[in-house]
Structure 1
């Protein structure tokens, strides 16, 4: 018996239903579901579906950038990326760092400069001996799908530079920005759009900027943000001589290639003892610093770009945290609810949960290990 051909409208409706269902499936199983049939592969690979799925993906993963140092002759230095859930990492950091599943090896000359929409920007840095000049190439990785982009054109810079990586929605492009300060104090930005053939030079940045805290720019709302120190003397500085009016947040707009200054919270009335840090979690910018060498303070900019929305999220004593001095957290978990600090012991981590005011101390075994972490979301994104 001959079966009648499916009506085009019905076929289209079925395709939309399948797309809707698949868009809620986690990214990792989707990479296997592409093998089910040609139509599913076509749906999952379509750019519209990739963006829809990214929008609906849960933001509950972190990317761990790990480095194991050589301790004795014959041992091999290793470097790589590890994907982990926030819950797993907090429950057992050592196990998460050592996990072989979802581990991706990197070259020893690689440095992770940021993560955005499931893509990781990696800088491959080769420095020349006897001078301060380095050659840098950038590439994009998707640790979940195995996607690796072509390298950017080589960029020759001095050692006084900082990186940032983000997404420009207006042009649907991923960009890396390198901020460079030369020996004369001149500051320029080099911007590269992945898939392009050259770097673009931006000369409008203020002179005599020094990088305070993390050298990686923090991506939020189509901008990259750094905490800079403006030194009016144009030379090296001593933190003990820094004043509040010398600190500034510089926000670089990836759409317009322009920058603006974001004012610090008005509630900061004295320079912290240690260098403050910027962090991003979700859609909020955070400023973290010590107060009088006795308290840890976190500010949250609830509406990015609105300086009036700076809110003091917490002020907690070192005594309650069980730390003698503040080693500022490198990252924040759970929508700004959990902060990680360094404890009294060299390899001890302190997790503070502001929801119940609890403190958890964890000794991360393996004193030969360095790690950093990035807010991460698993995705199927693979730029052209």
Structure 2
């Protein structure tokens, strides 16, 4: 008499409990479990499970550092480090030549090649998706057009969104915006007017290469403009975009350094708060908006001093609020983490080469794009 088949897992554990267990496993384990049976493969690859895993899956504090040689001697590569300890976790190369990273959110990187269209890339599952061409902005046609992006995951909608703002640095025409959503795989124009002064010359919208910060359900950029009514002075403010009602707003920067010409302003997050960083003379002033949306709540939290040789400011880590800087050291470029609470200095990451352009952002593993039929396995 033949032996009976071994009992299945579902014979002992209810299916909803199995799903809860699976949703809390790391990505590498889930990719292996897809081979167990067709039903598990179908469950793990479903949009519902991918969204559930984003919500309940492991959320290790990782940080991603992207380096690319100016002379392109080596292929661009990414290094993932652990927040707090700064241990090196993994390294991988971008599947795109000469590309830059626009943003990072819930396991996806928004990548911009020098030629072609934006792509979304999930290095944890080795898949990427080339996005459709954005819609033209007729009012800006006929001149040099600059573009800035904001990229984030909208948890309420379980969707990824990209905001694209186009503007002409040499005219006073108002910028135009459009939004891409992953669920529809399409772009839409935003008719809501951008609250900028008429006849102002917009010469920069962005965050000085830092990821566009998302807080309180909105993306944020610094706008720099000039107009005759400003007597030639820079007019700087924060432009916000509410991802729910898709309307623009504005927030004032800390007034104490609104018109300094010898300093760089960066916009980002500091321990979950909207932050403005003033970087000059080997020191960085960290301003935090303690009450979001209230300009009078800007507070100079602390000033961090650096040693000579600093060539760039890379933002702050999420958990500890450590300031990240790039320093030129002989033939190498180092990335240093300076603990703002302990005033200690840790220099743990060594990046090969002489000239690096570095993008740094939070990073988590996810299954996003696993269900995309247009995704391409690398």
Name stretches of at least 5 consecutive residues in structure 1 with no aligned partner. 127-135
Note if contact 2:96-2:113 (Cα within 8 Å) is conserved in structure 1.
Answer: no
8 Å CA contact retained: 1:228, 1:247: yes
Distance 1:339 1:272, change over 3 A: farther
Give secondary structure in 1 for the equivalent of 2:97.
coil
Of 347, 367, 370, 2:357 maps to 370
Please give the alpha-carbon distance, in whole angstroms, between the structure 2 residues aligned to 1:361 and 1:86: 13
Distance 1:310 1:42, change over 3 A: farther
SS in structure 2 at match of 1:185: coil
Residue 177 (structure 2) aligned to one of 189, 212, 215: 189
Partner of 1:142: 122
In 1: Cα distance, 2:107 partner to 2:296 partner: 31
Q: Check conservation: 1:177, 1:190, Cα contact below 8 A.
A: yes
1:331 maps onto 2:315 in alignment: yes
1:53 aligns with 2:53: yes
Separation in 2 of the partners of 1:125 and 1:253? 29
Q: Cα distance, 1:121 vs. partner?
A: 1.2
Q: How big is the alpha-carbon RMSD for the aligned residues of Structure 1 and Structure 2?
A: 3.7
Q: Is the 8 A contact 2:311 2:328 kept in 1?
A: no
> What is the CA-CA distance between 1:122 and the residue it aligns to?
1.5
Shift in alpha-carbon separation, 1:123–1:11, aligned structure 2, 3 A: same
Distance (Å, rounded) in 1 between the aligned partners of 2:243 and 2:79: 28
Aligned partner of 1:40 in structure 2 is 40
- Kept in 2, the 8 Å contact 1:117–1:378? The answer is yes
Tell me: CA distance 1:242–1:335, structure 2 relative to 1, closer, same or farther (3 Å). farther
Relative distance call for 1:300 and 1:328 in structure 2 (3 A) is farther
**Which of 203, 212, 220 is equivalent to 2:215?**
220
What is the aligned partner in structure 2 of residue 78 from structure 1? 75
Separation in 2, partners of 1:196, 1:221: 25
Residues 12-55 of structure 1: CA deviation (Å, up to 9, x unaligned): 96222222222222222221122223343344234333223222
Measured in 2, the distance between the counterparts of 1:313 and 1:341 equals: 18
Mapping of 1:260-299 within 5 angstroms?
A: 260-265=249-254, 271=260, 273-280=262-269, 283-290=272-279, 293=281, 295-299=283-287
Measured at CA, do residues 351 and 16 of structure 1 come closer, stay the same or move farther in structure 2, by a change above 3 Å? same
Extract structure 1 runs of 4+ deviating beyond 6 A: none
Question: How far apart are the structure 2 equivalents of 1:322 and 1:82?
Answer: 24
Of 326, 329, 337, which residue of structure 2 is paired with 1:342? 326
CA deviation string 1:134-177 (max 9, x = no partner): xx512211111123224222556834221211234454432222
1:163-202 correspondence runs (5 A): 163-182=149-168, 183-186=170-173, 187-194=175-182, 195-202=184-191
**CA 1:40/1:351 → structure 2, altered by over 3 Å: closer, same or farther?**
same
Q: CA separation in 1, counterparts of 2:160 and 2:260?
A: 36
Inter-partner Cα distance in structure 2 for 1:327 and 1:143:
28
Counterpart in the other structure of 2:26:
26
Structure 2: state its 5+ residue gaps: 373-378
Name the SS for the 2:264 alignment partner.
Answer: coil
Q: TM-score normalized by structure 2?
A: 0.77
Q: Which has the higher contact order (CA 8 A, sep 6+)?
A: 2
Count of aligned pairs: 349
